[in-house]
């Protein structure tokens, strides 16, 4: 508690402001990048799933043609 009263150290209000600024300058861009990555990864996931389904359809069609 005594350390907070030493001259030259920021007070509680200044610490809160610094944390908020840090959150805005670092946290918001990081959250935006994570959201963009997840959005793009979801699109790539659909392409992978479609290719897997196409291969399954080809396998089933080849089994039907053999019978």
pLDDT in tens, 1-45: 555 566 676 778 888 899 999 999 999 999 999 999 888 877 777
Coil, helix or strand at residue 9:
coil
Q: Give the Cα separation of 49 and 28 in Å (integer).
A: 31
Tokens of 31: 């959250």
* 54 within 8 A of 48, measured Cβ to Cβ: no
**Considering the entire predicted model, what is its pTM?**
0.48
């Amino acid at each position: 508690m005594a350390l907070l009263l030493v001259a030259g150290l920021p007070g509680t209000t200044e610490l809160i402001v610094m944390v908020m600024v840090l959150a805005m300058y670092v946290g918001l861009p990081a959250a935006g990048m994570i959201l963009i990555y997840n959005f793009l990864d979801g699109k790539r996931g659909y392409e992978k799933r479609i290719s897997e389904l196409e291969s399954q359809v080809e396998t089933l069609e080849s089994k039907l043609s053999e019978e």
